Amino acid sequence: LTAMPFLYLFADAVLHISNPAASFSLPGKGEVVHRTKRELDTTLLSERGSEVRIVGFDGDSPSSSLSYFDRVVSINGHRVKSLGDVLAAKARAKELPEDNFILERMPFGNRNLIPADQRGW
């Protein structure tokens, strides 16, 4: 992931090949992890549609328990529908320090399900 900007900026060509028969098994993808508000304090979050993802970290490097693109699924059993849900829970955590944030690992972000020959690029 660190090299991706260089790949697009310095490559002469990037080929996107679609193979519907290919089965991709990404390490960690779909793994569910439980975290506390304190662990999410250093994260930078972004809302895309109805999903909230970790897109960065305050400081030098991410915590070993959190990763880029992790998706916040639920907080105390309530499904997360917006960034506002997460921010409200983080603010409320002063009174409820044991908020249980459930995250799903998505190490490479969302997979583009549109076939390569239909993407319009």
Q: How confident is the model at residue 67 (pLDDT cuts 50, 70, 90)?
A: confident
Question: Given this model, what pLDDT does residue 95 score?
Answer: 66
Residue with more model confidence, 20 or 110:
110
What does the pLDDT average to over 59-73? 77
Distance CA 112, CA 10 (A): 23
Q: Which stretch of 17-26, 28-37, 76-85, 106-115 has the lowest confidence by average pLDDT?
A: 17-26
Segment holding 87, helix H or strand E: helix 83-92
**For 19, which DSSP code?**
-
Reduced to 3 states (helix: H, G, I; strand: E, B; else coil), residue 3 is coil
Q: What is the mean pLDDT of residues 115-119?
A: 77
Mean pLDDT of the region 71-97: 84
What DSSP character marks residue 12? S
The DSSP symbol for 72 reads E
